[in-house]
Each structure stands twice: as C-alpha cells, then as structure tokens.
Amino acid sequence: MAYQVNDTDLRDSQVADLLFEYMPKIAAEHRTDSLLLLMADLGRRIVQADRCSLWLIDEERNELWTKVAHGVNELRIPLTAGFVGYSLKTGQPVLVEDAYQDSRFDRRSDLKNNYHTTSVMTMPMESEGRVMGVFQAINKIGDNVFFSQKDLEHLKLISVYSAKTIESAIRAQKLEHKAEELESAHMELIRILGEVSEFRSQEVGDHIHRVSEISRMLARYYGLSEEQQKLIYYASLLHDLGKVGIPDMVLKKEGRLTDSEYTQMKSHSVIGRTLLRDSRTDLLRMAADIAGAHHERWNGNGYPDRLEGENIPLAARICSVADVLDALACPRCYKTAWLEEHVREEMKKSRGTYFQPELIDILMDHWDEFYSCYKPNGMFIKKGLLPPVKA
Ligand SMILES: [Fe+2]
Ligand SMILES: [Fe+2]
C-alpha cells in the first residue's frame, strides 16, 4: 500500500529546529527515565502524535518498559505485546491507519487507559546492531488523520538518535554505579582497618569514630570543602593504625611504661605513616599524614619529627585536637571522664602550644555544639558511639 505525504507534515527544516531545541536538554540529562520522557516529547512534536513512548527491553525480566509523563511508576508489557512486540520481533516498522482493523493490535492497553487508538507507528530502536527497544507514536493530531511515510522517516531519525543517547546514558549509569560501589567498598575497608587498630590499641567505646566526627566538624568550621571534610573523616579513622605494629607487652601493659617502652609506643606514628604513605589515593595519603603527625605539637615539642606550626599537615593538626578532646571527655580504662569545664579549660590552655590557635578558637566559639555530642541525647549517644557510663 502506498502512503501519501501530507502537506501539513513538518518540513525537514522544522524537524531540524526541533532537534536543535531539544539537543541541549537531552545532552544535559543523564537519568534514563527523564531521557525517555524528553525523547518521547520530541518524537510527539516531530511526528505530531497524541502520544509517543519509547519502550526499552528489560532483559532480566523479559519485558518492555517505559515511563510516561506524570506516571509514578513505569509501564511494563510482555516482549510480544501488540505492534511494539511485532517491531521488536521482526525488526520492522509498523504504520497502520486503524489499529482495530489489525490483528497485531493489543486492545488491553486501550481498555486499561480508557483510550481509543486509531493510527499507530512503531520503529525498532537499534544501537550497535542490536534492537534495544521500540519507539511508538499513537494517533496523528492536526489536520491529518493518519501518519505518513514522511512521519515514519522522521520516526526513524529520532529512533536512531534516541537509541544512541539512551545507550550511552545507560553505559554512564553503569560506570557510575560501579564507581560508587568501589568507593563504598574502599570506605568500608578503611572503617574496618580503623576498628582493627582500635581493638588492638585497647581503646574503648568507638574512640576512633568520635575522633572522626569531631575532626569533620572542625574541618567544616575551618572552611574546608565537603570533599575535604569527607576525606578527613575517613582518614582520621586510621590515626592510630600504627598501633598494630606495637608488641602486646607494651600495648597491654598495665601501669607505667619504662622509657624504652614509651619510645616503642611512640613509634606507632611512624609505623602508621609507613604503612600508608605509598598509596596513590588522596584519602590514604591524607591518612598517612594524620597517622604520622597526630602527635606533633604546634610549638614543635611533639613527636616523631618535632614539626612546628604549619609544617604539620593540616589534617593532622585537626585530628590531634579531636583526639585529645575525646581522650579527656571520655572515660578510659585508666581514668574517668573529665568534667566538662576541666576539658574546656585544658583545651583552651593548649592553644598555641599543643594546638593551632585557630582550631582552638573554632572549638571555643562552638563549644556547646561540639560538646553536645557527648551529652545525653547528643550525636554520639544517638549513634551508639559512647561507652556506657559506669555507675
Ligand atoms: Fe596516637
Ligand atoms: Fe586516638
């Protein structure tokens, strides 16, 4: 059967105008759902249809799915349903004037949606030699009643464009997902490693997690970017990693350490730095800085390198404030928790000696917020990061 070309079909130049109008929106959109809607809208305007939809194959569920504007959920149909199923199976387009006169038509969707389909076009969407879905247009609008051969050509054009675009969006989404998965596995390993070092160093009650939370708060008030805050949070979990290399007889000794045992204990900072420093990731390099310098002091009297002032890496300066604050504020096996005013006094006294003055200023300016973490109903209790108070 020969199909006429309607006078009111869009001219190629109008089609090109529409393509140029949609291209920037399509290029900026990476979510498959939203792309399906944009493409369908573009298709609807180009072929002047009442409805357009892009059906994609879901290989896992052996179904076709699409997204409709304002539809909360996606629509799903069997792979073989109706004209769409026909195009998918044969790789051929469909162009019909009255769906109800065609045995391939599946009336169920009309019944379900209280709609009356008359004219229909479908076009298989191919990318890299494989059919990935079907573009469907329903009911010609305007002066013409049927879709024309020209409409079918236009549908072919946007089907090719849509297939390429969606294929690359799906590929990008998969890559993103993989990257996210890798990142969370990486963070998880760091958390586990931090907990191993905590277990080894006889710390009680999630000290490292609290140090990381306080470090992140300090970093935020210091004006570091969210990315840096996140790095400091995770890197601080490893501040005492080097304790895995300290012998039990020193680490678990009750009572005073001899001078040589103390020297051995102090070597945990160098051991930690050595374990981490060859990494190529920003996170582990920062962790190496923190592990190596969290016992340095602002006035140069710390260890292991007696670094002074800004020669101490910033992340280590931040973590050392959090480390000492937590050590004072929480009970340890050899001491009870200090009273709040004593902790505050001690931290203030260490401004410019132990700690960078600006960091202590931040701590003092926001003292209530920092210290509220340790209080009943505070963040640490809520997150289960505080040891139970001994009666
Ligand atoms: Fe330490
Ligand atoms: Fe610590």
Confidence at residue 1, expressed as pLDDT on a 0 to 100 scale: 43
Mean pLDDT of 305-309: 98
CB 82, CB 99: distance < 8 Å: no
Query: Helix or strand or coil: residue 143?
Result: coil
Confidence at residue 177, expressed as pLDDT on a 0 to 100 scale: 86
Confidence at residue 2, expressed as pLDDT on a 0 to 100 scale: 44
Mean pLDDT, all residues of the chain: 89
State the distance from the centre of ligand 1 to the C-alpha of 87, rounded, in angstroms.
67
**Cα separation values, 259 from 240, 250, 264, 265, 335, Å:** 20, 11, 9, 10, 21
Mean pLDDT of 339-359: 97
- Ligand nearest the Cα atom of residue 202: 2
pLDDT tens for 323-345 read: 999 999 988 767 788 899 999 99
Q: Which residue in this structure is represented by tokens 């004072």?
A: 328
**149 Cβ contact partners less than 8 Å away, ≥ 6 residues apart:** 3, 4, 5, 95
CA 6-8-12 angle, to 5 degrees, is 90
State the distance from the centre of ligand 1 to the C-alpha of 287, rounded, in angstroms.
12
State the distance from the centre of ligand 1 to the C-alpha of 295, rounded, in angstroms.
6
Lowest-confidence segment of 34-48, 71-85, 93-107, 141-155 by average pLDDT: 71-85
* Pairing relationship of beta strands 130-140 and 75-78 according to DSSP bridges: unpaired
- Residue extents of the structural domains in the chain: 12-175, 201-382
Residue 42's pLDDT band, with cuts at 50, 70 and 90, is very high
Strands (E), the chain: 49-58, 63-66, 75-78, 94-96, 120-127, 130-140
State the distance from the centre of ligand 1 to the C-alpha of 196, rounded, in angstroms.
14
Lowest-confidence segment of 115-124, 241-250, 306-315, 373-382 by average pLDDT: 373-382
Backbone φ/ψ region at 316: left (φ over 0), alpha (ψ -120 to 50), beta: alpha
Mean pLDDT of 345-360: 98
Mean pLDDT of 222-232: 96
In sign, the C-alpha dihedral spanning 338, 342, 345, 346 is negative
- Ligand nearest the Cα atom of residue 207: 2
Backbone φ/ψ region at 98: left (φ over 0), alpha (ψ -120 to 50), beta: beta
Compute the distance between CA of residue 379 and CA of residue 370 in angstroms, rounded to an integer: 10
**CATH number belonging to domain 12-175:** 3.30.450.40
Compute the distance between CA of residue 169 and CA of residue 64 in angstroms, rounded to an integer: 18
State the distance from the centre of ligand 2 to the C-alpha of 45, rounded, in angstroms.
64
Confidence at residue 3, expressed as pLDDT on a 0 to 100 scale: 45
* Pairing relationship of beta strands 49-58 and 120-127 according to DSSP bridges: unpaired
State the distance from the centre of ligand 2 to the C-alpha of 18, rounded, in angstroms.
62
Which fold does the domain 201-382 belong to in CATH?
Answer: Hypothetical protein af1432 (1.10.3210)
Give percent of the chain above pLDDT 90: 55
pTM over 0.85: no
Q: Which residue in this structure is represented by tokens 């973490």?
A: 373
State the distance from the centre of ligand 1 to the C-alpha of 183, rounded, in angstroms.
26
pLDDT at 391 over 50: no
State the distance from the centre of ligand 1 to the C-alpha of 106, rounded, in angstroms.
71
pLDDT at 159 over 50: yes
Lowest-confidence segment of 67-76, 211-220, 263-272, 294-303 by average pLDDT: 67-76
pLDDT at 390 over 50: no
Compute the distance between CA of residue 270 and CA of residue 78 in angstroms, rounded to an integer: 63
Phi, psi values for residue 186, rounded to 5° = -60, -50
State the distance from the centre of ligand 2 to the C-alpha of 26, rounded, in angstroms.
50
Residue 181's pLDDT band, with cuts at 50, 70 and 90, is confident
State the distance from the centre of ligand 2 to the C-alpha of 239, rounded, in angstroms.
7
- Ligand nearest the Cα atom of residue 290: 1
- Ligand nearest the Cα atom of residue 209: 2
pLDDT at 70 over 70: no
Query: How far is C-alpha 96 from the geometric centre of its chain's CA atoms?
Result: 46
pLDDT at 200 over 80: no
State the distance from the centre of ligand 2 to the C-alpha of 295, rounded, in angstroms.
10
Confidence at residue 100, expressed as pLDDT on a 0 to 100 scale: 95
Which of the listed ranges 62-71, 91-100, 104-113, 136-145 does the model predict with the highest average pLDDT? 91-100
pLDDT tens for 6-39 read: 556 677 788 888 888 898 888 888 888 888 999 9
Residue 389's pLDDT band, with cuts at 50, 70 and 90, is low
Mean pLDDT of 374-390: 73
Lowest-confidence segment of 36-50, 120-134, 181-195 by average pLDDT: 181-195
pLDDT at 388 over 60: no
State the distance from the centre of ligand 1 to the C-alpha of 240, rounded, in angstroms.
5
Mean pLDDT of 132-148: 91
Confidence at residue 55, expressed as pLDDT on a 0 to 100 scale: 95
Higher per-residue confidence, 3 vs 167: 167
- Ligand nearest the Cα atom of residue 208: 2
